[in-house]
Amino acid sequence: MYVIIVGCGSTGIKVAEWLMASGAEVTMIDNDSEKQRFVDNLFGSIVVLGDGTGVESQEKAGTQRADLLIATLNSDEDNMLACQIAKHHFNVDTTLALSADPDKAHLLGLLGIDIVVNLADLITEEIQSLVAPMLVEDL
């Protein structure tokens, strides 16, 4: 499996590490040269320096042969754009975008992004699972 990850932040790095340990081939895209050097020191030369929301950078990363593109940027709009380019310009089968805004998460799904990870829901579920046992103890 060939996966493009847009964004070399902590989430992108952890996902890349897991995917590579699972045998996937991974290329990351980020426009920050310091992040590029950091990730390349961790994993080897896997980062394309550029804007993951642009056709040129995605082309340089080999998006045309990707099975999956994962957008992990801090902006819902940028994640949507990266996925839209991958899906409609490069015909990537599956796109996944992170969303910090529950309202926008729904919109990303309507726009054809295959998998939308709603961060607010994930955080709420984690807090609930941690706090629920405390509530039961109080009864």
Which domains, and CATH codes, for the chain? 2-138 (3.40.50.720)
Number of neighbouring beta carbons within 10 Å of residue 128 = 10
- Please report the pLDDT score of residue 104 as a whole number: 85
Q: Which residues, other chains included, contact 55 with Cβ-Cβ below 8 Å and sequence gap of 6+? A: 85, 89
pLDDT of residue 7: 98
The pLDDT profile of the chain, 139 residues, written as one tens digit per residue, is 999 999 999 999 999 999 999 999 999 999 999 999 999 999 999 999 999 999 999 999 999 999 999 999 999 999 999 999 999 999 999 999 999 888 888 878 778 899 999 888 888 888 998 898 888 765 5
Q: Are 96 and 83 in contact (CB under 8 A)?
A: yes
Q: What pLDDT does residue 120 have?
A: 85
User: How much is the pTM?
Assistant: 0.90
